[in-house]
Amino acid sequence: MKIFNKFLNIKEHIPLTVYSKITQFPSKLKYLLYLGKNKCCPFCGKYYRKFLIYGYSKRLNTACPKDYSLERHRLLWLYLKYKTSFFHDNLKVLHFAPQYCFLKACSTMPNLEYISADLYKPEVKLKMDITEITFSDKYFNVILCNHVLEHVIDDEKALSELFRVLKPGGWAIIQSAIDSSLEKTYEDKTIITDEERKRAFGQRDHVRIYGDDYIDRLEKAGFIVKVEDYAGSLNNELIKIYGLNQDEKIYFCSKLKE
């Protein structure tokens, strides 16, 4: 009790911002309990016994214990590193709804003018609606939009805006959750409640399930689309150690030079 009382007295003299960091410190070190040799996160570069369980379906070996990267994030990061100039060229990059792992890594890359944007996430640089992008035409060299469009009611307008602000010769990676068993995208604008959307689309904040016509929507916006089976090009050992989804494809969308 005496120790606890002393702690309370000390707390009164510590600025709130400093106290918050002190109390968060143990939780930031929890990843140390998972260190091992079986899994590797390409963001933090650390090896783990296993990844964390994540998602509605409780997927095993999914989230990195340190930066919470998921399968799709690690796949995209590896693709950017080994198949693009993202790590080398001086680029203006727009990233919608970036995950913590990307924010942490990209914000410190000296070759990037990295603009993070979202309507709701407080940690991004700009609060911005993807259907009303507040930048001039042909501003960005690269756009990253990873599993965003299934949340956007007017995805056609969003894609039009992404195309508008991309420079000729620039490229975008526009990923979405896709059900390859569907020939056409399933959406119904009369479905508006959280529970209805969860039953129809799998999540309360999803407004559609994309099908095999996803590429048609990207091309309709003006993009030249190349679907890359990057995960399929990796050997089984790499897929296992990085915890990748072998079925996820990369939708590489480019804009013709003028």
pLDDT band at 30 (very low <50, low <70, confident <90, very high): confident
Q: How far is CA 187 from CA 45, 103, 190, 207, in A?
A: 39, 31, 9, 7
Stretch 202-209: mean pLDDT: 94
| Ramachandran angles phi, psi of 81, nearest 5° | -70, -40
d(CA 95, CA 76): 13
pLDDT at 27: 52
Return the CATH superfamily for domain 73-254.
Vaccinia Virus protein VP39 (3.40.50.150)
**What are the helix (H) ranges across 86-193?**
100-106, 155-165
Cβ pair 62, 99 in contact under 8 A: no
Q: What is the pLDDT of residues 152-163, one digit of tens each?
A: 999 999 999 999
- Tokens 């690269």 — which residue? 142
**pTM summary value:** 0.87
Of 96, 158, 148, the residue nearest 127 (C-alpha): 96
| pLDDT digits 0-9 by tens, 243-252 | 999 999 999 9
Residues with Cβ < 8 Å from 116, sequence gap 6 or more?
95, 98, 103, 106, 107, 123, 124, 125, 126
**pLDDT tens per residue, range 214-257:** 999 999 999 999 999 999 999 999 999 999 999 999 999 999 99
Burial, 71: exposed, middle or buried (Cβ in 10 Å; 0-12, 13-18, 19+)?
Answer: buried
What are the boundaries of each domain within the chain?
A: 73-254
pLDDT above 70 covers a percentage of the chain that reads 89
For residue 65, which of 103, 95, 98, 38 has the smallest C-alpha distance?
Answer: 38
